[in-house]
Amino acid sequence: MLLLGVVYYVVRPDVSRYSHELPVNFPNDGFSHTSFEELLLEYVEEGLVNYQRWHDTPKDRRKLKRYLGAVAALSPDNAPQRFANASAQTAYWMYAYNALVIDAILDRWPIESVTDVKAPIEVVQGLGFFYKLKFTLGGEVLSLYELEHQKILARTQDPRVHFVLNCGSGGCPIMRPRLPTGEELEPYLAAAAADFVGDKKNVTFDHQKKILKVSKIFSWYKEDFLNELRRQGQSTGRGIVDYLKLVATGEMSLELERARDYTVEMNEYDWALNKTKEKE
């Protein structure tokens, strides 16, 4: 019995509870992300989040909780009539993910990294934050890992979501404060992918040594990216470089063409919190 108790303590979920109080002016039809977008426009600065100021503003913490109350009550699974198309459903799952990450950080503030949130036995990095924390979406309780893989990746089959989902770390894509849905979602995903690949933090070249260094995201989700190449018939045998070329634009596209025979290496992932710098 003691052993069973220890096992339960290790694996038991830490479930965040949200009331089903909907945001002010929430529509009777559809699903509005307006209140979350307003918060992002207020607290996101050049892709980083001012967690300290957000944490110190109780009314806006409550505003985020109310948005997540709507997320907890309604989803494409239990209220499909509110989501007009696949784009609206994808937007819901992605924005819910980002909002839940922010809320989890604010609830545990101050922290320096999401890896500070530990499971009793941290067998893999991020276990406490991405696997053990659980949240309600449309009445279903999920971890961030389950949300990402079961609701987003399994349904969209679109690896560009990796450039929008923000895990609260410096190695993640930037937090994007505007939240399009419907027909606007496609160019949004395309821009997010091009921006991520075009950022020298994520893709860099050593032309002298013929080395291409890329974000570890391209290693963790390699099969997602390669599967997309196969679906589009764009694979030339260069692996992840083919995918980079698929989504890159402008100068980055030209640089990648030059690097066609370079050795690909992975950057160390930056787990430091994606927070704004303190003003001196």
Task: Give the tens place of pLDDT for each residue, 112-136.
Answer: 999 999 988 877 777 899 999 999 9
pLDDT band at residue 8, thresholds of 50, 70 and 90? very low
State the Rg of the chain over Cα: 20
User: Per-residue confidence at 4, pLDDT binned at 50, 70, 90?
Assistant: very low
Number of independent structural domains in the chain = 2
Tell me how crowded residue 246 is: count the other CB atoms within 10 A of its CB: 18
Domain of residue 228: give its range: 200-266
Report yes or no: 79 and 27 within 8 Å, Cβ to Cβ: no
- Residues of the chain above pLDDT 70, percent: 95
- Classify the C-alpha dihedral 4-16-108-176 as positive or negative: positive
- pLDDT computed for residue 106 by the predictor: 98
User: What pLDDT does residue 213 have?
Assistant: 97
Q: Are 252 and 197 in contact (CB under 8 A)?
A: yes
Q: Is residue 122 in some structural domain?
A: yes
Q: What is the pLDDT of residues 72-108, one digit of tens each?
A: 999 999 999 999 999 999 999 999 999 999 999 999 9
Query: Are 40 and 87 spatial neighbours (Cβ–Cβ below 8 Å)?
Result: no
Range in 11-15, 101-105, 241-245 with the lowest mean pLDDT: 11-15
Choosing from 180, 195, 210, the residue where a domain stops is 195
Q: Are residues 142 and 39 in the same domain?
A: yes
In a domain, 277, yes or no: no
Confidence of residue 11 (pLDDT cuts 50, 70, 90): low
CA distances (Å), origin 30, targets 61, 88, 89, 98, 224? 24, 9, 11, 20, 30
Q: Say which residue, 237 or 154, is predicted with more confidence.
A: 154
CA gap 110, 134 in Å, rounded = 20
Q: Are residues 9 and 101 in the same domain?
A: yes
What are the tokens at 178?
């505007």
Q: What is the pLDDT of residue 65?
A: 97
CA distance 173 to 19: 30
Task: For the full predicted model, state whether its pTM sits above 0.85.
Answer: yes
How far is 23 from 36, CA to CA, in rounded Å?
10
233 domain-assigned: yes
Query: Mean pLDDT across the chain, nearest whole number?
Result: 93
Please count the other Cβ atoms lying within 10 Å of the Cβ belonging to residue 11.
12
**Domain boundary residue, one of 158, 179, 195:** 195
Pair (56, 164) in one structural domain = yes
pLDDT band at 3 (very low <50, low <70, confident <90, very high): very low
Q: At what angle do helices 86-107 and 185-198 cross, to 10 degrees?
A: 50
List alpha helices for the chain, DSSP H.
2-11, 34-43, 51-55, 58-73, 86-107, 144-146, 154-156, 185-198, 217-220, 222-232, 240-247, 250-258
Q: Which residue has the higher pLDDT, 63 or 4?
A: 63
- Taking the C-alpha atoms of residue 213 and residue 264, their distance in angstroms, rounded to an integer, is 6
Q: Tell me the per-residue pLDDT of 16-40, one tens digit each, with 9 for 90 and over.
A: 888 878 898 999 999 999 999 999 9
Are residues 183 and 220 both part of a single domain? no
146 vs 236, higher pLDDT: 146
Give pLDDT tens digits for 145-176. 999 999 999 999 999 999 999 999 999 999 99
Q: Which long-range contacts (C-beta less than 8 Å, at least 24 apart) are formed by 237-240?
A: 239/264, 240/214, 240/264
Separation between Cα atoms, residue 170 and residue 147, nearest integer Å: 21
Which of the pair, 60 or 125, is modelled with greater confidence? 60
Asked which of 195, 221, 245 is the last residue of a domain, the reply is: 195
Question: Do 130 and 249 share a domain, yes or no?
Answer: no
